[in-house]
Amino acid sequence: MGYNITMRVLVTGGAGFLGSRFVRLLAEERPEWEITGLDKLTYAGDMRRLRNLRFHFIHGDILDQSLLVGLLVDHEVLVHFAAETHVDRSIARPGDFIRTNVLGTQTLLEAARLAWEGGGLFLHVSTDEVYGPVPQGAASESWPLLPSSPYSASKAGAEAFVMAYQKTYGLKAIVVRPCNGLGPFQHPEKFIPRMIVRASLGKPLPVYGTGKQRREWLWADDIARAILVVLERGKPGETYNIGSGHEEENISVARRIIEALGASPDLVQHVEDRPGHDIRYFMDSSKLRALGWEPSRSFDQALLETISWFAENRWWWEGWAEEI
């Protein structure tokens, strides 16, 4: 899209884990831009992530089309993070994921169509999980989408609506597919924070199945910066993978957390695998790197920084300790 000193950006899910990192990046590095965060503030949204930042905040729902149209008239860019994201919750309550991730995205698209009348840019944040299992090699952006969980199916459905609005109405849109993120302020229901919190409390670390599932991991701020690079240098109509190029087995990550915290290796507890659990995700992110993006941290650095932050900021997770 190109750098615009007067850019007005609406960020949905702005109080979520990744959305808040993106809002913070814009507030700190694009101070001339007008930034508005929109968030419903469900259990996953937390304003503590946004302390000491200058930006506008709207407490609202992405299913409220009249609210969205009114907001988008005054913004030329929408970066859409808002979503239900926890796979285990999607298995228990798939309807919630259809409402937020599919219907919510379609409501946003329709609001953008009505507000912009051919202008604007819709940047949709998806996930690497839409590819389904990648047993070998690396999934490029043209890889078929074969989602396995209700979560990934809902994100693939949202992407389909983004593509449909591009083709049918000429809406300018870009899709990004990040890998797993880690870093400060992540909700402790997620794998790495959960392992850190439970090991810190001396509780068993439940690992699904053999723990041989392999994932790409990336520092959350690097994901945020990748999205900014795509916003400024990417091409409407395109999709960009956001991956680290480094993969780790879940069991290896759990053991490294135990070692870093000086906890007992006996805390690892293998439990029944969850349904539809993909064995491996891995992406080819060369298209993004051609825009000039590179990660700032290795996985080792990111993991140690994350462990240190959670150890030093128990106030962030102690209220959830009994639930996880």
Decide if 285 is inside a domain: no
Please give the pLDDT value at position 4.
60
Annotated catalytic residue, options 129, 159, 222, 284? 129
How confident is the model over 56-111, as pLDDT tens digits?
Answer: 999 999 999 999 999 999 999 999 999 999 999 999 999 999 999 999 999 999 99
d(CA 201, CA 208): 20
Please give the pLDDT value at position 27.
97
Q: Annotated catalytic, 129?
A: yes
Annotated catalytic residue, options 131, 151, 240, 281? 151
Annotated catalytic residue, options 128, 159, 221, 222? 128
How confident is the model over 14-69, as pLDDT tens digits?
Answer: 999 999 999 999 999 999 999 999 999 999 999 999 999 999 999 999 999 999 99
Q: Indicate if 116 and 251 belong to the same structural domain.
A: no
Q: Indicate if 67 and 165 belong to the same structural domain.
A: yes
Please give the pLDDT value at position 321.
86
Q: Annotated catalytic, 131?
A: no
Domain at 168, CATH number:
3.40.50.720
Q: Annotated catalytic, 151?
A: yes
Domain at 270, CATH number:
3.90.25.10
Closest Cα to residue 107, out of 63, 44, 52?
63
Q: Indicate if 94 and 236 belong to the same structural domain.
A: yes
Q: Indicate if 234 and 259 belong to the same structural domain.
A: no
Residue 305 backbone phi and psi in degrees, to 5: -65, -40
CB 198 within 8 A of CB 159: no
| DSSP H or E run through 247 | strand 247-249
Decide if 106 is inside a domain: yes
